[in-house]
Amino acid sequence: MIQEVAPVEQLADPGVVKALEDALELARAGELGAVAIAMVHRDYGMQAGFCWGAAPSALLFGSIDRLRHKLHQDLDG
């Protein structure tokens, strides 16, 4: 007897993949001078990574603050 198989759950979130691919495209084109990334794993573990690059450090901190503001706006929507 053949049993039905439950659908496979997609592990990759398409929005996460797109955001990273968009950033990678900018980096490869030489458009990024620095980067910081905040990550939340599927088990809710957290991780962060950064590269100061060639940009002044104050600009990276400013970009992080702007990101926090945009996240708050989206949540408060």
Whether 52 maps to a domain, the answer reads yes
Q: Residue 2: its pLDDT value, please?
A: 86
Whether 48 maps to a domain, the answer reads yes
Report how many domains make up the chain.
1
Q: Residue 70: its pLDDT value, please?
A: 97
Q: Considering Cα of 60, then 57, then 28, then 30, what sign does the dihedral take?
A: positive
Residue-range definition of the domain harbouring residue 66: 28-76
pLDDT band for position 77 (cuts 50, 70, 90): confident
Residue ranges of the alpha helices (H) in the chain?
Answer: 14-28, 57-76
Whether 33 maps to a domain, the answer reads yes
Higher pLDDT, residue 73 or 4: 73
Q: What are residue 7's phi and psi, to 5 degrees?
A: -60, 145
Q: What is the pTM of this model?
A: 0.78
Whether 23 maps to a domain, the answer reads no
Whether 32 maps to a domain, the answer reads yes
Residue 69 CA: distances (Å) to CA of 23, 66, 73: 19, 5, 6
Distance of alpha carbon 77 from alpha carbon 74, whole angstroms = 5
Whether 67 maps to a domain, the answer reads yes
pLDDT tens figures, 12-62:
999 999 999 999 999 999 999 999 999 999 999 999 999 999 889 999 999
Whether 19 maps to a domain, the answer reads no
Whether 45 maps to a domain, the answer reads yes
